[in-house]
Amino acid sequence: MSSNTKVQGRQKITDKTLWISVPKELDHHSAEQISQEADGLVRQKDIREIVFDFSDTVFCDSSGIGMLMGRYKMMKALGGNVRAVQAGERVGKILMLSGIMKIIPVEKKQGGMQDEKE
Amino acid sequence: MKRNEMKIEFDSISDNEAFARVTVAAFMAQMNPSMEEVADVKTAVSEAVTNAIIHGYEGKVHKITITGVIEDALLSLEVADQGVGIRDVKKAMEPLYTSRPELERSGMGFLFMEAFMDEVQVSSRPGEGTIVTMKKMIGQHGE
């Protein structure tokens, strides 16, 4: 195992939207790398929106919440916004618990997560 | 009573966050946990280990130990560092409090540990380190 596991960072920019494919496990280790890559791209290009795609993500902890909040603050300061899409059951649970859904729109994975019973 | 114990020690580098939670998940497999229980424990372990790396050792490389004990359906975990310690544990455990806002910490680490485990205790002495003890009943999902 390499001592510095590289996150398979997959981003694409369409129009002024930066799409980030979040890795399988979003923890302190991977969140730091994604944040650095995203911030670099926002500094270089004219980006108005960041979309985090959670299709592949099965693990997320509070470091992922910190990453989303940090990008939200940055984009807000630039007059842009942040969204999360394709959140599966586990990611949805973590995002729900954190309360971040109040400030960042979150789309659940289609046919995946059931609506919260309340 | 069925009892089993394990102990692991590893460097406080962020690559080991995944190692720690996967190892604990493998240890608890013998308890016949639900997928959700495994995910809950993995999240709690990840939070405690991340705290030790970022706050306990402030990014410097030292050792973190995890002790896991199974007693029938009870899983007990101890995550320990010999780092800077926490001066005010009560404050550190307040939701949204973070001592390191510049590092983009959400202040939700202890909140998540408490949400996903049945019991969380923190004992810490400044200059000596921190021990986070977490307990959870496993496999009680009525099957």
Q: Is the pLDDT of residue A111 over 70?
A: no
In this prediction, residue A110 has a pLDDT band, given cuts at 50, 70 and 90, of confident
- The C-alpha atoms of residue A61 and residue A85 are separated, in whole angstroms, by 17
User: What are the structural domains, with CATH classification, of chain B?
Assistant: 3-137 (3.30.565.10)
φ, ψ at B117 (rounded to 5°): -115, 160
Residue of B40, B43, B49, B96 to mutate, testing the A interface (most A Cβ within 10 Å of its Cβ): B43
Which value, in Å, is the radius of gyration of the alpha carbons in chain A?
14
Q: Is the pLDDT of residue A9 over 80?
A: no
Is residue A3 a part of any domain in this protein? no
Say whether B9 is catalytic. no
State whether residue A88 sits within 8 Å of chain B by CB. Answer: no
Q: Is the pLDDT of residue A5 over 90?
A: no
pLDDT value at position B143? Answer: 47
- With beta carbons under 8 A apart, name residues in chain A contacting B45: none
Is residue A2 a part of any domain in this protein? no
pLDDT value at position A4? Answer: 41
pLDDT value at position B18? Answer: 97
Burial class (CB in 10 A: 0-12, 13-18, 19+), A48: middle
Decide if A98 and B106 are in contact by the 8 Å CB cutoff: yes
- The C-alpha atoms of residue B46 and residue B52 are separated, in whole angstroms, by 10
Give the residue numbers spanning the domain of A65: 10-108
Q: What is the mean pLDDT of residues A24-31?
A: 96
Task: Mention every residue, 6+ apart, whose C-beta is less than 8 A from residue B62.
Answer: B11, B12, B81, B82, B83
pLDDT value at position B142? Answer: 57
Is residue A100 a part of any domain in this protein? yes
State the DSSP string of B56-119: ISTT---EEEEEEEEETTEEEEEEEE-SS--S-HHHHTSTT--S-GGGT--S-HHHHHHHHSSE
| Cα nearest neighbour of A90 on chain B | B39
CATH of the domain at A71: 3.30.750.24
Q: What is the mean pLDDT of residues A38-47?
A: 94
pLDDT value at position A82? Answer: 97
Count of domains for chain A: 1
Say whether B105 is catalytic. yes
Q: Is the pLDDT of residue A116 over 90?
A: no
Q: Is the pLDDT of residue A7 over 60?
A: no
Annotated active-site residue in B17, B21, B37, B47 = B47
Residue with tokens 């199974």: B70
Residue A94: name the closest of A106, A82, A83 by CA: A106
Q: Is the pLDDT of residue A11 over 70?
A: yes
The proportion of chain A whose per-residue pLDDT surpasses 70, expressed as a percent, equals 86
* More confident of the two residues B134 and A117: B134
Annotated active-site residue in B17, B37, B51, B78 = B51
Is residue A4 a part of any domain in this protein? no
Mean pLDDT of chain A: 88
- The C-alpha atoms of residue A32 and residue A4 are separated, in whole angstroms, by 12
Residues in chain B with pLDDT values less than 70: 141-143
pLDDT value at position B102? Answer: 83
